[in-house]
Structure 1
Amino acid sequence: MGYETIASPVNLGGLVLKNRIIFAPTSFGLPEERLLERLRRIAAGGCAMIIVGDVPAGRSPFGSLYSARGFARYRRLCEAVHREGCLICAQLHQSDSDLAGMVRYLPGVLTKRYSMDQLRELLNQRVGPYISSLPAEKVAGITASFGSAAVLAAKAGFDMVQVHGDRMCGSFASPLFNRRQDRYGASVVNRARFAVEAVTSIRRSMPDMPIDFKLAVRQEEPHYGNAGMLVEELPVLIPLLEQAGVTSFHVALADHSRLSDTIPPANHPYFSSQGCFLRYADEVRSLTRLPVCGVGGLTDPDFVEEQLKSGRIDCAAMSRQLLADPDWPRKVTEGNTDAVRQCVRCNRDCLGGIQRHEGVHCVFDREQV
């Protein structure tokens, strides 16, 4: 089978990618130097673009574009990735964690008494009260910060920005968390306002910058995902985002649930199949002419080529697969698919590494040393 579509360029809002493979935003939990080398290695493997996950839209105690040290760190990432002939995108986000309310759990985190899933559950319990009680003026200030962050991201060397449609965007979008009755709550339009204002702020500050939107979709029957919007609400949301300035969509299951749902293993009861989240990309595809990126257990070159060639998706995003074999894009585009090491979706050292507070790794890492 040929892989002409995987190898073909694609235009995302004026930015031309050399092929259709994107490294999906990933929280690594690694020290700076090890993270830099990991992303450089992935870039060297031939993917077209790396999305750097969770870049704070505002000032953050954990490092951001606004501090000299944080800015320098992101500039180094951009330079390292660019040297390998790869583009780089900043995923701008605003945390919806009630940090002040979480102080009581800090000792348990530091002593590893709480697992990541337990900490996640504790955080999620506080999301609703926190975002529902934020003053409207403060919310408007937060959405405005996305524009300032985009300006800094461009200066640091990022080629594109992505608005993280989960985190605070996703919690505002979902009535499971958002109990507000003002202009940021109740109706679908009002619940979408946070995301729309964030995109609008970027577009005003950076008129020509491509803006990707990570669209978080939740579903019922069965219930998966707590943040984000239901499929039935997408016909309202997508035109609003397009009008605000979004140039492409990256579609996935909504967060704020179990990590094993958003990063599903091969034996997941509902998301076991390859391309497990493409059902949500199908819904988005039916509502927009903008490029759509799909994600979710994409490992097999033949399957990925088929989805791209049929026009079901325009780009394929991978995280675990490029951790298992960073050279997947180069091997596939060169026709050397027999040498591809496919991710088995075991989640032992990638998701498992994060849950054990050890950082993201792969069970194949020992073979790559």
Structure 2
Amino acid sequence: MYDILNTPVNYGGLELKNRVIFAPTTLGLPQEEQLERLRAIARGGCAMIIIGDVPVGKHGFGPSLYSKKGFAWYARLTSAIHQEGCLVCAQLHQSDSNVKAMLKYVPGVLTKRISMQELRPLLNQEVGPYITRMPAQKAAAIAESFGEAAVLAQKAGFDMVQVHGDRMCGSFSSAIYNFRTDCYGGAPENRARFAVEAVRAIRRRLPDLPIDYKLAVRQEEPHYGNAGVVEAELPVFVPLLEQAGVTSFHVTLANHGSLTDTIPPANHPYFRGQGCFLKYCDQVRALTKLPVCGVGGLSDPAFIADQITAGRIDCAAMSRQLIADPAWPEKVFSGREQDIHRCVRCNKACLGGMMAHQGVHCIYERKASV
């Protein structure tokens, strides 16, 4: 059943053995536990794992490709995933957090006057001034660092890179955050410049490397997401990114709002259904012939197979479902659908665990340990 899910596909120059991708996820786990989690997901049959938030700078959050220890970690990770017959992609990431602005909230967090839920919107308020006041030379240098990081990522064993189109790329793209009056601000073409320069920096150094782009889409009426590209501006951004060297698009809702919007639970007022972000894929599909990967509450194999057959998406990315059951692909491909631990999108131990700084887990893990 669902043969289309288990068919190979050329995803932007990279040959995938099937259509299932593990979406980039901040797991928040100790390295050894993270390694075993990702190894299990690779062993479960998905075609590619995207490692989220790989810093493009030398001093970003998380392990650095530029340090001996950080590079060794990524090399070990890619080797372990490859040993399970799975490909691996590095999501190149540049934070748009204003570190100096963050420091003023530290006392409130330490004394618990500011909760982690309250901290997020406070930090988001600092993004606009940070992006708007950044010197153009610094913006250009950061964009250039995507190319340097991609070279190191390839050396560490990554098969593909994904440019994180939310975070700094998304904030430069967004008229909500970007009030610049220079070549990086104003018209959509200018707000796209930072992302385009980041992609070009990679393509110039690595002419043949597949480059995925996480295209974060901001929605209005009703309003969801603050960074990223508003739907009406997709006809500007998509061709510019393709011309710069992007070979595939990973399409999702823009961030910098509530995490329960970008990681929506089953009772979300707007994004409650299967494939809740696929309408953005439809819009991107109409603008490019490049492969498109969809994400958003995907867990039902029949539904996903129908979307691929209909041509809405080429691949399906999922995170919570593969955390709930890493063997989802293997069970689907072997006709053991009844054995799947189905994600119910409760967000209790996954998003809840991340927010509580306990790492991403699943309620099924808790049940198994009782």
Q: Please say whether Structure 1 and Structure 2 have the same fold, judged by a TM-score greater than 0.5.
A: yes
TM-score when normalising by structure 1:
0.98
The Cα offsets for residues 19-61 of structure 1, whole Å up to 9 and x where unpaired, read as 0000000011111111111111111111000000010111125
* 1:54 and 2:53 are equivalent in the alignment: yes
Distance 1:355 1:305 in 2: 33
| Counterpart contact for 1:117–1:259, Cα < 8 Å | no
Secondary structure at the aligned position of 2:104 is classed as: helix
Distance 1:338 1:108 in 2: 48
Could you say if the C-alpha distance between residues 73 and 186 of structure 1 is closer, same or farther in structure 2, counting changes exceeding 3 Å? same
Aligned residues: 368
| Counterpart contact for 2:226–2:254, Cα < 8 Å | yes
| Counterpart contact for 1:115–1:356, Cα < 8 Å | no
What does residue 337 of structure 1 align with?
337
* 1:359 and 2:359 are equivalent in the alignment: yes
Distance 1:34 1:236 in 2: 42
What does residue 29 of structure 1 align with?
28
Give the letter for the 2:101 counterpart. G
| Counterpart contact for 1:171–1:178, Cα < 8 Å | yes
Give the CA deviation at 1:367: 4.4
| Counterpart contact for 1:3–1:335, Cα < 8 Å | no
Give the CA deviation at 1:340: 1.1
What does residue 234 of structure 1 align with?
234
Could you say if the C-alpha distance between residues 240 and 329 of structure 1 is closer, same or farther in structure 2, counting changes exceeding 3 Å? same
What does residue 38 of structure 1 align with?
37
Distance 1:230 1:363 in 2: 35
Query: 1:1-369 residue pairs with structure 2 within 5 A?
Result: 2-62=1-61, 63-109=63-109, 114-367=114-367
Give the letter for the 2:32 counterpart. E
Distance 2:205 2:193 in 1: 18
| Counterpart contact for 2:60–2:94, Cα < 8 Å | no
Q: Which moved more, 1:209-218 or 1:59-68?
A: 59-68
Give the letter for the 2:15 counterpart. V
Could you say if the C-alpha distance between residues 110 and 50 of structure 1 is closer, same or farther in structure 2, counting changes exceeding 3 Å? farther
The Cα offsets for residues 322-342 of structure 1, whole Å up to 9 and x where unpaired, read as 011100000011111111111
Structure 1: gaps spanning 5 or more residues:
none
Could you say if the C-alpha distance between residues 163 and 61 of structure 1 is closer, same or farther in structure 2, counting changes exceeding 3 Å? closer
Give the CA deviation at 1:368: 5.0
Q: Which moved more, 1:44-53 or 1:57-66?
A: 57-66
Secondary structure at the aligned position of 1:77 is classed as: helix
Q: Which moved more, 1:30-39 or 1:88-97?
A: 30-39
Q: Which moved more, 1:204-213 or 1:12-21?
A: 12-21
Structure 2: gaps spanning 5 or more residues:
none
Q: Which moved more, 1:52-61 or 1:114-123?
A: 114-123
Could you say if the C-alpha distance between residues 109 and 65 of structure 1 is closer, same or farther in structure 2, counting changes exceeding 3 Å? farther
Secondary structure at the aligned position of 1:214 is classed as: strand
| Counterpart contact for 1:65–1:152, Cα < 8 Å | yes
Q: Which moved more, 1:213-222 or 1:115-124?
A: 115-124
**Identical aligned residues as a percent:** 67
Secondary structure at the aligned position of 1:359 is classed as: coil
Give the letter for the 2:20 counterpart. I
Give the CA deviation at 1:64: 1.1
The Cα offsets for residues 253-282 of structure 1, whole Å up to 9 and x where unpaired, read as 000000000000000000001100001011
Q: Which moved more, 1:59-68 or 1:278-287?
A: 59-68
Could you say if the C-alpha distance between residues 38 and 368 of structure 1 is closer, same or farther in structure 2, counting changes exceeding 3 Å? farther
Secondary structure at the aligned position of 2:163 is classed as: strand
Could you say if the C-alpha distance between residues 174 and 61 of structure 1 is closer, same or farther in structure 2, counting changes exceeding 3 Å? closer
Give the CA deviation at 1:311: 1.1
Distance 1:290 1:115 in 2: 42
Give the CA deviation at 1:3: 1.1
Distance 2:121 2:105 in 1: 12
| Counterpart contact for 1:57–1:145, Cα < 8 Å | yes
Give the letter for the 2:9 counterpart. V
Secondary structure at the aligned position of 2:289 is classed as: coil
| Counterpart contact for 2:143–2:198, Cα < 8 Å | yes
Secondary structure at the aligned position of 1:72 is classed as: helix
Secondary structure at the aligned position of 1:38 is classed as: helix
Could you say if the C-alpha distance between residues 368 and 90 of structure 1 is closer, same or farther in structure 2, counting changes exceeding 3 Å? farther
Give the CA deviation at 1:180: 0.1
Distance 1:108 1:325 in 2: 38
| Counterpart contact for 1:224–1:257, Cα < 8 Å | yes
Secondary structure at the aligned position of 2:117 is classed as: helix
The CA RMSD over aligned residues, in Å, is 1.2
Give the letter for the 1:53 counterpart. G
Distance 1:289 1:231 in 2: 18
